[in-house]
Amino acid sequence: MFRFLMKIRENLIVKIIVATGGIMLVSTLVLVYLSISFVNTHTIAERIKSADLMCNTIKLGLHNAMLRNSRDEIDQIIQKVAELRPVTTIRVYNKKGEIKFSNNPVEENSVIDTTHQACQSCHDADEPRKSLTLEERTREFYSPEGGHFFSVLTPIGNPAECSGGPCHFHQADQAILGTLDLVFAFESNEIEVSDYQTQLIVLGTIFFIITSGCIFMGLRQIITRPLSMLIKSSQDIAHGKTSSAVDSIASRSDELGKLARSHEAMVSALQAKQDALNEKMEEYGLLFDNVPCIVTVQDRSFKLLQYNKESRERFNPFPGAYCYQAYKGIDEKCEECPVERTFETGLAHCSEEHRRNPDGTYSHWIVHTAPIVDKNGKVTKAMEMCLDITERKKLEEKLKESEKKYHTIFNNVPNSIFVLDDKSLAILDCNNTACSVYGYDVGDLIGKPFASVIHPDEIDRIVSQMRAFTVVNQVKSLRKDGETFFVDIMLAESAYSNAEYLLVSTTDITERLEAEQLLFHAGKMATLGEMATGVAHELNQPLTVIKSANNFFLKKVNAKEIIPPDTIATLAREVDSYVDRAAKIINHMREFGRKVDQVVELVDVNMSVDRAFTLLNKQFAARGIQVSWDLAENLVPVMGSSDQLEQVIINLLVNARDILEEKTWGSDSDRPWISVRTYVEGKDVIIEVDDNGGGIPEGLIHRIFEPFFTTKKVGKGTGLGLSISYGLIKDFGGTIHANNSETGALFTIKLPVAGSRDE
């Protein structure tokens, strides 16, 4: 019963009907009550008016009898009137309150006091009132026996015929002679009213039932059925069913039609949102399940509420398992638990965890936790995401071993290695070899500019070349004690952690340079030995001229002849010029043959070529070798050593001379020749030495720059010339190549223009 009442209470239609019915019932009851009250009041008022009219009629009927003083007639009239229903009592009072006439003879001649209800209307003031309204003359009362009555008092005035002739019984100054009191019973009136009330109640009940039924049917048709259809449609949609129950309602133009259309629009929107939500939920479910790391959701007791595919495959947790049981196979919570800290602080936490696997290996993972709060902001769950870093840990261990290994190699490599800042060239790190070679401790070198270990004379050049070259040869360096030595520098750029570094490796070449100097000097001496005949011929001509001049002077002296002054002056000038020429040749040979320091300077290539040819031109002329020159004008300088470049040119010219000298020439049209060309190509100065000696055998071209290798006859060459030339050109930062042209051997030298590598 209670559930039925609750169901009725929760039913909107029932509420509407009950509310409407209640209003109708109250309205009907109020209408019936007001109708009954109106009828009752109206009936009483009409009865009072009828009673007053009856009193006036009786008073008129008694008037003639009173004029004649016919008491019998008066009694007869009173008795007749008393027989009329609902009249119960009729009395006539005189002015003194004495009942003169009554339908009840017992009451006659009795006197009532002015305080009696019948007298209060007129005697409620000191001076009796002479006129009263009908309401004032009407009184309602109940008898001791329980009867309900009302009386109408009608004053009996003193008309002229009562105070004048023919009566003369009353004085003319008396306004009121007495009172007619007519008492009516309410019994018949109450019966009529009761019948009317009954009829009205029955009619109201019928009206209420009919009206309520009509309202119920109307509400059912207009509201109840559409609402039921809307409710059914909503319930169907709530259960995932499609419904067309509101289609018939949607065609209506009233508010329920609008509601149905709004309902359909809302259903369509909800369906679209539900589809999108389902799609998102499915997508997030797939993402949660397939995310490539371990993801779990735990409650405050660390019990696993949800876990993804990776968790199932990795730990295979059983239903109701705790995280520490699944992750680590232990029975107690971890001492340092990020999930616990998340529940305590309400913040995300991160930590690194590990476990020992059954096979004895260790697994490592990074743990990230995040709080999950309810609508009140209270942390009720926590999400834990674990990323396996076991392989990374293994790599870290390998990296540590690798770092240790390569740090050991770095410190013990036989070359000095520096790590420089790419911009400032400050020393950031160096190995033990560098400390040993340069005589510094590691702490003394770190932070210093790299220029502090370079000789001051070469700082500008070396710093600029370090920006341009990957190899810088023969760098003059300084040890901590001030001792100088030479190194070759190799450079490589490197980057790490968004910073750029310059790796510098230096190799001490001091002993090698000393050996090379001896070798170079030996090569020079060998070249000078080979050029001895040509030099002797060069010196023989000045000596012949001097000898001839001297013989001329002796002959004239012995003959005691006078020599003309202009002849003496001419011969003296001639002797002086040939002495200068001989001295120049001797000085050139002395300069060429002396040992030179490893000094790099600006070199005019054309001048070095010209100086080399000066020592050999007579030899070429004596052997019939024609030399052609094609030297570029205003040739830009290169960095190197002029003496060493001259030695290279001499070596190439001597080799060409020897090849041409060994060959038999058929005619003057096929004379031997050597061609020397210089020009600029891009950022390089090119020197080409070409001849028509037939070239180098193809199988030997790749070996001609090897030390002690020669194609000359035994005893004619040392095999050092081209090897020394190759080393010298390489030290200048250039290259030398040998190829065969159409007529003979072609040697090509490329030297970088001074300053070109700095751009």
Q: What's the CATH number where 319 sits? A: 3.30.450.20
Examine the pLDDT at 677 and tell me if it is beyond 60: yes
Is 408 domain-assigned? no
What is the average per-residue pLDDT within 665-679?
78
Three-class secondary structure of residue 735 per DSSP: strand
Q: In the chain, what percentage of residues exceed pLDDT 90? A: 7
Q: Which of 113-127, 183-197, 276-290 has the lowest mean pLDDT?
A: 113-127
Say whether both 85 and 44 belong to one domain.
yes
Which of 167-176, 281-290, 625-634 has the highest average model confidence (pLDDT)?
A: 625-634
Domain end point (choices 480, 508, 536): 508
- State the Cα–Cα distance between residues 196 and 202, nearest whole angstrom: 10
Examine the pLDDT at 749 and tell me if it is beyond 90: yes
Say whether both 493 and 540 belong to one domain.
no
What mean pLDDT, rounded, does the chain reach? 78
- State the Cα–Cα distance between residues 299 and 321, nearest whole angstrom: 11
Examine the pLDDT at 678 and tell me if it is beyond 80: yes
Say whether both 490 and 446 belong to one domain.
yes
Decide which of 295 and 103 is more confident: 295
pLDDT by residue (tens digit) across 463-519?
888 878 888 888 889 998 988 998 989 998 888 777 888 999 998 888 777 666 665
Domain of 268 in residue numbering reads as 247-286
Which pLDDT score, from 0 to 100, does residue 92 have? 84
Is 215 domain-assigned? no
The first and second tokens of residue 303, run together, are: 């019990």
Q: Which of 120-124, 223-227, 446-450, 687-691 has the lowest mean pLDDT?
A: 120-124
- State the Cα–Cα distance between residues 242 and 565, nearest whole angstrom: 142
Domain end point (choices 487, 508, 529): 508
Is 233 domain-assigned? no
Q: Structure pTM?
A: 0.35
Say whether both 368 and 433 belong to one domain.
no
Say whether both 615 and 691 belong to one domain.
yes
Say whether both 497 and 636 belong to one domain.
no
Find out whether 471 and 491 touch, Cβ atoms under 8 Å. yes
- Edge to edge, the sheet with strand 427-430 lists 427-430, 416-421, 499-508, 484-496, 471-478
Say whether both 424 and 297 belong to one domain.
no
Confidence of residue 558 (pLDDT cuts 50, 70, 90): confident
| 504-533 residues labelled b (16+ CB within 10 A) or e (exposed) | bbbebbeeebeebeeebeebbebbbebbee
Q: Which residues contact 112 (CB under 8 A, 6 or more apart)?
A: 93, 97, 99, 118, 119
Examine the pLDDT at 197 and tell me if it is beyond 80: no
Say whether both 648 and 578 belong to one domain.
yes
What is the average per-residue pLDDT within 200-208?
79
Which pLDDT score, from 0 to 100, does residue 675 have? 92
What is the average per-residue pLDDT within 86-96?
80
Domain end point (choices 464, 491, 508): 508
pLDDT by residue (tens digit) across 138-163?
877 777 776 777 788 888 776 666 65
Question: 313 burial class (0-12, 13-18, 19+ CB within 10 angstroms)?
Answer: exposed
Is 591 domain-assigned? yes
Confidence of residue 362 (pLDDT cuts 50, 70, 90): confident
Is 206 domain-assigned? no
- State the Cα–Cα distance between residues 181 and 98, nearest whole angstrom: 12
Decide which of 743 and 570 is more confident: 743
pLDDT by residue (tens digit) across 6-17?
665 666 666 777
Say whether both 583 and 676 belong to one domain.
yes
pLDDT by residue (tens digit) across 67-84?
777 777 888 888 887 777
Q: Which of 29-38, 292-301, 567-576 has the lowest mean pLDDT?
A: 567-576
Say whether both 662 and 521 belong to one domain.
yes
Say whether both 449 and 558 belong to one domain.
no
Kindly report whether the peptide bond that precedes residue 166 is cis, defined as omega within 30 degrees of 0. Answer: yes
Confidence of residue 758 (pLDDT cuts 50, 70, 90): very low
What is the average per-residue pLDDT within 244-258?
70
Examine the pLDDT at 167 and tell me if it is beyond 60: no
Which of 86-90, 423-427, 521-525 has the highest average model confidence (pLDDT)?
A: 423-427
Is 228 domain-assigned? no
Q: Which of 596-600, 612-616, 647-651, 657-661 has the lowest mean pLDDT?
A: 596-600
The residue behind tokens 């009302």 is 150
Is 124 domain-assigned? yes
Q: What total of structural domains would you count in the chain?
A: 5
Examine the pLDDT at 714 and tell me if it is beyond 50: no
Confidence of residue 381 (pLDDT cuts 50, 70, 90): very high
Examine the pLDDT at 174 and tell me if it is beyond 70: no
The first and second tokens of residue 558, run together, are: 């012995």
Q: In the chain, what percentage of residues exceed pLDDT 70? A: 79
Phi, psi of 185 (to 5 degrees): -90, 140
Say whether both 264 and 336 belong to one domain.
no
Is 223 domain-assigned? no
